[in-house]
A = this chain, B = another copy of it.
Amino acid sequence: MTKEVIVVRDKPVSEYVLNAVVAFNSGAEEVEIVGRGRYISKAVVVFNRLRERLEETLKVVNVEIGSEESRRGRPVAYIKIRVTQGL
């Protein structure tokens, strides 16, 4: 199963939405939108914009939230939004 992971940081929302659409068009079966710390809210915005674009064809596989260790060894909250496109 081909999965594209899109980590949301400082780029414009539209860039991440475009990455997701291109991933699906290039055959990715699943896209995982990841947001950590203060980017969690932005990851949800990316999801909402993607859903506006792909409408009912976008299916949510799972939304996972939790805490993991950052590169600096400190706990950081995260969200992982797994989506597929069912035509």
Instruction: Enumerate chain A interface residues (CB-CB to B < 8 A).
Output: 35, 37-41, 44-45, 47-48, 51, 63-67, 75, 77-79, 81
Smallest Cβ-Cβ distance to A66: which chain B residue: B48
Q: Which of B35, B48, B77, B81 contacts A48 (CB 8 A)?
A: B77
Residues of B within 8 A of A75 (CB): 48
10 smallest CB-CB distances across A and B, nearest first, come from A40-B41, A63-B63, A48-B67, A44-B77, A44-B65, A45-B77, A41-B41, A38-B41, A40-B44, A48-B77
Once the chains are docked, how many angstroms separate the CA of A51 from the CA of B64? 14
Known contacts A41-B38, A44-B79, A65 near B63 by CB under 8 Å: yes
